[in-house]
A and B are shown apart, each in its own frame.
Chain A
């Protein structure tokens, strides 16, 4: 349950709290308005999730903790970018990072439930699968609370340093 919780919390905090503040000067991006960033990030993330969640027959990973750590690594990277702005030079790299974020989320989801199906004794499988679903809900719940705080503070930080794009959405 813990890896699923960690991944979902990182993911939804990134999506709601951090990506609204990861912005670039428009001329360096394919966008015409600042509010175009967010839906595009969302679409890339969903695409990543769809691809990884559909990969159960093809991809097999054993560790659940490594992708969770990588997801928190994504979180740290994007927060650093929002704070310092010089970490990721191009919005295209951010697109890749967010797509990668979606891939990680999906792979942990399918791997968790696949491993429960394989490693838990048959009589307990039904209950175990059901009981584990609480972890992603918990991660999302917590992220929805934390995300609001993170977004507000990151945006304020940026505005205080002259990057008011997050207010110009």
Chain B
């Protein structure tokens, strides 16, 4: 095993005389599935999807409420729920395991999408027909957002409220996602943070572009585009549960790649790892030796966290 791993640690060289096709393919597979690549790639996907959903849902909702609704109101429902959840959640969300959180985020974002796509919408949405270019239609949309559209129809308040609720769901989902995944990077090293940051940056470019492409270049209605985009949360599930390796034993440990315990030692190790994961999740409350938390500890933990937050305010 040791021999094989030291041999496979070299990047595959197809021109070397000792290379055979099976050894080459096995070296490629080794590197493609190594934590060194999987960790940043999965965080990149998580960052990308977490923020793309947010951008797409916002764009769709802006279109569906129409230009009579002040853009500021829509944006407020878009940022304020995220702000509130990020403010309070770090103090209690450690009780919720990361897997549960990812599923929760996906459900919230999908519900937000559903609320916006499937609820009644009486505002006629301008999108490209035959000869109109993507650019023209995009500009019409921008014009609407800046509140300068001349004669829009005013949608009923209940309809707008439902769309705003959908945006709020998406906002909370993205807020919980960001604080959770950033916290998760503390277990995987700097490459995780690099992947996450790059993904969130790409989401800004890709998200807006994807939405405009779907609704104008390809001519799908806002509703159909949203329903089409509803596969995106699955990618998040896939990246977290499928791609991301198990947490390394310590915090921010680098060096040895973790052994794929699930394949080699079976059930018992997996359960131990799950417990470790949960215990490490409780780390910020102050670990007792048993890894349990009682109420007195909990109160001390909350105050301790407040003090930690205080120290973070001015770096």
Contacts and interface: CB of A to CB of B under 8 A. Distances in A.
B186 A131 contact: no
B182 A129 contact: yes
B201 A134 contact: no
A49 B55 CA distance: 15
Q: Name the residue in A1, A114, A133 with the highest tally of chain B Cβ atoms < 10 Å from its Cβ.
A: A133
B79 A113 contact: no
B44 to A, nearest CB: 9
A145 to B, nearest CB: 7
Interface in B231-265: 250-252
A38 B201 contact: no
Given A134-B87, A144-B79, A56 B194 contact: yes
A122 interface: yes
Main secondary structure of the interface of A (DSSP, over half): helix
Interface string A114-146: 111100001111111111111001101100110
B186 A137 contact: no
Contact of A137 (B175, B201, B202): B175
A57 interface: yes
B298 to A, nearest CB: 14
Bin the interface of chain A by size: 35 or more
Interface in B289-315: 305, 308-309, 312-315
A117 B312 contact: no
Contacts of A47: 205
B36 interface: no
B305 A38 contact: no
Interface of A: 1-3, 16, 20, 33, 35-36, 38-39, 42-43, 46-47, 49-54, 56-57, 64, 106, 109-110, 112-117, 122-134, 137-138, 140-141, 144-145, 148, 167, 169
Closest 4 CB pairs of A and B: A53-B201, A127-B284, A50-B201, A137-B83
27 contacts: A1-B312, A1-B315, A38-B142, A51-B201, A64-B315, A110-B193, A113-B197, A117-B186, A124-B284, A124-B308, A126-B183, A128-B308, A128-B309, A130-B90, A131-B305, A132-B182, A132-B312, A133-B86, A134-B86, A134-B87, A134-B90, A138-B87, A141-B76, A141-B80, A144-B79, A148-B71, A148-B72
